[in-house]
Amino acid sequence: MSVKETNLILSITSIDDLMRCINLASLLELSGWPKPGNVHRTKDFEDTRFEHFLSGIAAIQPNFRRFCTKIFDTPHKENYSFIEMGFFFRETVEQMMSWQSGGNVLLGHILILAPLTAAVTLCLKFNANKLSDFKYYLNKIIEESTVEDAINLYEAIRLCNPGGLGKINKYDINNENALKELRNDKITLKKIFDLSKDNDLISSEYSSGFKIIVNEGLPYLLQMYKVFEDPNIATVNTFLKILSDHPDSLIIRKSGVDSAHFVSEFAHKIMQEGGISSQKGLELTIELDRKLQEKKGKMNPGTTADLVAGILFCALIFGLRI
């Protein structure tokens, strides 16, 4: 099933509805069981617990409301640089870090959900409710990002120290001169994501117009829910599907390419059994979770989890109700 074939129309009509979708997307992603290698409802990491994620999710909701309200209330502008995604990243990460002690729990959610929520806000503002409208605004927001957005992104990353955006030859997040280089070379948010797209799945999404989330994950999750009418099966099977098709860039950064490919191949094996909707698939998923948890976070497909949060958000704004 392609996205085009579903004739998707926005199902929400207010900022209040949008806030519900943002909150629920993160909560549903977090609660998916057993998403292998992640913190989930039955597994904590040594220093990061399920409750740390809950606290982080609660802490950032006011930031999202201010962000979306600002976009909605700002008089119409031809250029969307006024959205200031970078400032939102930095401000929201500050709140995420200050309200829990488990470290960086939601940077990926913040990066993924910011442009998606901004695009929906513009759809609400201009009474545009088609998937094509959503994609149009999403691309405009990213294309018209600024150098200040890139600088604030770097400052947000430094606040939670998650390892940057993968290895790039210039503008290394750990280089004390990186911010000066970004400014001198006029590197916008879109440009920095273009430079890191081959090493980081979130960067790749920004560079491609969120193709994995919108073109692959969204129709797959909607189909999973249509078939099984079970939000957990839909969430975890979507996680496994994305993981099987796209080696996780967080695993690559922490444990190398071979480890990431091993996990993707195992996920593919699970999908061949029908995912967690079959007894064999569930058993294999629990086995993979056990194998990855033994590595104490070094084999955590955390970027895949972030993408799933974005997929769930898109499903919710286009009508998913559990």
Q: Each residue of 129-160: pLDDT tens digit?
A: 999 999 999 999 999 999 999 999 999 999 98
What pLDDT is attached to residue 165?
62
Tally Cβ neighbours within 10 Å of residue 171.
21
Quick check: is 281 in a domain? yes
Distance CA 140, CA 81 (A): 9
Residues 252/270, Cβ–Cβ less than 8 Å: no
pLDDT > 70: percent of the chain? 96
Angle, in degrees to the nearest 10, between helices 189-196 and 147-160: 60
Question: Average of pLDDT values for 5-28?
Answer: 93
Residue 262, pLDDT > 50, answer: yes
Whether the model clears a pTM of 0.85, i.e. scores above it, the answer is yes
As for how many domains the chain has, the answer is 1
Q: What is the CATH number of the domain that holds 67?
A: 1.10.4200.10
Residue 163, pLDDT > 70, answer: no
Distance CA 302, CA 15 (A): 28
What pLDDT is attached to residue 167?
61
Q: Each residue of 172-209: pLDDT tens digit?
A: 888 889 999 999 999 999 999 999 999 999 999 999 99
Residue 164, pLDDT > 80, answer: no
Question: Average of pLDDT values for 16-44?
Answer: 97
Quick check: is 322 in a domain? no
Quick check: is 312 in a domain? yes
The answer to which of 91-100, 171-180, 251-260, 295-304 has the lowest mean pLDDT is 171-180
Evaluate the CA torsion angle 93, 98, 103, 109 in order and state its sign: negative
In whole angstroms, how far apart are CA 88 and each of 17, 62, 119, 251? 20, 11, 14, 27
Quick check: is 269 in a domain? yes
What's the domain range around 298?
A: 3-317
Residue 113, pLDDT > 70, answer: yes
Quick check: is 313 in a domain? yes
Residue 282, pLDDT > 50, answer: yes
Q: Each residue of 206-245: pLDDT tens digit?
A: 999 999 999 999 999 999 999 999 999 999 999 999 999 9
Backbone angles phi, psi at 44, to 5 degrees: -105, 155
Residue 273, pLDDT > 60, answer: yes
H or E stretch covering 48: none
Instruction: Please report, in angstroms and rounded to a whole number, the separation of the first and last CA atoms in the chain.
Output: 20
Which three-class secondary structure state does DSSP give residue 46?
A: coil
Residue 1, pLDDT > 70, answer: no
Residue 2, pLDDT > 60, answer: no
Q: Each residue of 71-110: pLDDT tens digit?
A: 999 998 889 999 999 999 999 999 999 999 999 999 999 9
- Angle among Cα 296, 298, 299 to the nearest 5 degrees reads 100
Residue 5, pLDDT > 50, answer: no
Quick check: is 219 in a domain? yes
